[in-house]
Chains A and B, each alone.
Chain A
């Protein structure tokens, strides 16, 4: 009896291998940890069913303020490949890696991407009505450039290939297919922005994650610096943004999926502009939302932007 029980899983495994070579048990798959949802999407696209993915920071959540959990460290400890954005986006990462004692390769996806320095040395996040300064000399939101997304995909394919040589042709084929989709997306964004009258290309957001989008596609984003919705002392800061909005003739204010909307509501009402959105910045939407993957996210943002900037 005892021996039967221990034999059972082994025999099941044999059957699986014998009759369905394409279905791999979880423990046979490449263990991949992605730090946040957009990277998780990229990993799924390149890895397909050869990987067993754990995404740490899920949909609609902000990696910057994420509090890592024991389960995350355990996932890192078991991972073969860890995919991270880098550029100080994942502030929790170093301590999580230390605690996990992981031996997995840490793949920094922004390596080789065209990175913007941040003249302000960082940017602000608005969390529960308070502004939190995210100090980093470089702008971490590199995926808002489709050209950079291609670099991410290339880096992921390389990391998977070196950890799982057998699956490499599959990874490379997946990456190539997606590369074409990214090229089409890039073209669509360029065409849509080209169709926007030039005096309608200024938008307002609370958390400026769009500097790469601005660089690549020519829509200007204004964002407040260090404003707190609760601090009376910030009235002057809002006032100076309102002035800038008027001087630059910004057309619309946008909310964001990872930030509460109180600040942009205040700005929109003071500037007399419509509040549009949400834009998806640092996270995907849940599966049933409008931005469950990167391609959908970029297309949703593009439509939201052009609709609001074009509105009268």
Chain B
């Protein structure tokens, strides 16, 4: 009997041809949004604004002067205060997710995390492979922050100890880590020890390899398969090998000016290449694979700051102390365009004196101009100023979040409780309000096995409520926010919710399907899971259970989909069932949906409207 039901859903599939169960984001528009975060030179604060609405400001109080890092593709801003032993975190409110043929962008208000990381002299920040690693120069350790959790506003940290406190860094590479290493030599007063090299290390701080010499190690960046770091001898490159990190020193060649070194490196995001400084006014293009490994570019004046264009690997931009912005052609290793963009800012004086800082935002270079009290928007093609934005105080360090992508209308959020489940006391890895997972954007590593107990309980189908008009209000609500009429939504859910199984009870391993009051009962055990990718690029996980004994009419396979990918009690779920495990995976238009039987019709409506 239930087998025939599966047949019916098959027909529904053919009839409909509409969107997928989790693919209801029909409304989307292409949006470009950049949000600029500016750290003041004197005051402990960060000011934020969007380029398309700079009048609207957000201000975040911190402990001291902030060096800002945009991490995890701009989803979070890390505000490092090395003189005040504090690190603040701000959810940028803009996240861009690439999905093969398109990107999605989500925009909300920025918000500071309440939690503040404190420790002795935090300095270098590395954002790579899902980790944000902050070196505490006087602490002798690196705090590793889970980047994904951070983008959801949660601070999950673990600590990698170093042999001796120093101004350095630790970076993840492959399945392990590397850390800079300090000399054993005693130091005078409170100065920090000199640095001698780089070493593979386990997360507990035990060495995993020999120290590779890299005298005075400073500056590090990732590009492609490589980590590159500056040394007195040359540039040390690191790749992930089968048996741990593989390090290779690229020595500075004889045709570079002698006596200078690279101490700052930027890695291109779209090509395997690095741009570094080399002495006060020189720059080097570093190709870790092909010869020549170094190509030198001389700027006419000392360099104040430089950036790489993440969108177009050909160009970097460097500001010199005479106030000239240079476009640097990375492929040709030459200055390809120059324009005066601000007053002179002499490099004489302290390194941390207020001088402009650069960042990229789409087709523009964003430059803080501390003495003018503005942030300048400069066209990357013409180097001409597009606009200036007044920023109170002394705008100094900057970071940018944002990009371009499709915005999907929130009407898709259907009727789900994606609030904190922690109150129920369940142990699961992603217990917070995980919108991204809910919408089907997650990494394979986030998926965990689930047991039938996640769906234990007495459940009712919502299909009768759709049929009898109870859910009309919900459809009308969707129509207000969506691109379909209430009637069209109702027709869509008519196919989605359709089922003859009005009630399901799950008790231990026993699942009972009630059709017209008659139960069909069977015992089910886990049969793994499958990851489905929908048309839009988002994904879903089916948790699959297989019948081991019981009524003939009970289906061979049941597949749960509830927008969760790790152990958690379901608040509602979609259930697919039938005798062909593989064929069921193709079913994406009919998704019988169940809510707790304890909920009244009004409560279900309220649940659905609340989201």
Contact = CB atoms under 8 A, between A and B. Distances in A.
A120 B100 CA distance: 14
A2 to B, nearest CB: 26
Contact of B528 (A72, A128, A136, A239): A239
B311 interface: yes
Contact of B271 (A88, A95, A239): A95
A131 interface: yes
B535 interface: yes
A218 interface: no
Given A120-B532, A128-B240, A225-B530, A69 B99 contact: no
B271 A136 contact: no
Contacts of B289: 69
A228 B444 contact: yes
Nearest to B225: A67
A273 to B, nearest CB: 19
A85 B370 CA distance: 49
Contacts of B99: 135
Given A67-B224, A74-B331, A135 B290 contact: no
Nearest to B310: A95
A99 B100 contact: no
Interface in A106-125: 119-122
B313 A135 contact: no
Contact of B273 (A70, A122, A231): A70
A260 to B, nearest CB: 8
B534 interface: yes
A99 B314 contact: yes
Interface stretch (B72-80, B119-127, B445-453, B488-496): B445-453
Nearest to A71: B290
A231 B331 CA distance: 40
Nearest to B544: A240
Interface string B262-293: 00000000111100000000000101011000
Contact of B445 (A100, A120, A136, A231): A231
Majority-rule SS of B interface residues: loop
B386 interface: no
A233 B449 contact: yes
A88 B101 contact: yes
Interface string B296-320: 0000000000000001111000000
Contact of A121 (B175, B449, B529, B537): B537
Contacts of B534: 121
Interface string A217-255: 000000001101011010011011000000000000000
Given A237-B528, A237-B529, A73 B444 contact: no
B274 to A, nearest CB: 10
A98 B242 CA distance: 33
Contacts of B285: 70
A220 to B, nearest CB: 12
Nearest to B269: A95
A226 B531 contact: yes
A210 to B, nearest CB: 17
A121 B530 CA distance: 13
Interface of A: 67-74, 77, 88, 95-96, 98-101, 119-122, 128, 131, 133, 135-137, 225-226, 228, 230-231, 233, 236-237, 239-240
21 contacts: A67-B225, A69-B272, A70-B273, A70-B290, A73-B314, A74-B331, A95-B313, A96-B313, A99-B270, A120-B533, A121-B534, A128-B240, A133-B533, A135-B100, A136-B100, A137-B100, A226-B447, A233-B449, A236-B449, A236-B527, A236-B528
Given A96-B270, A233-B448, 20 more contacts: A67-B225, A68-B271, A69-B271, A69-B290, A70-B290, A71-B290, A73-B331, A99-B312, A100-B314, A101-B314, A120-B532, A122-B533, A128-B174, A128-B240, A128-B242, A133-B533, A135-B537, A136-B100, A236-B449, A239-B528
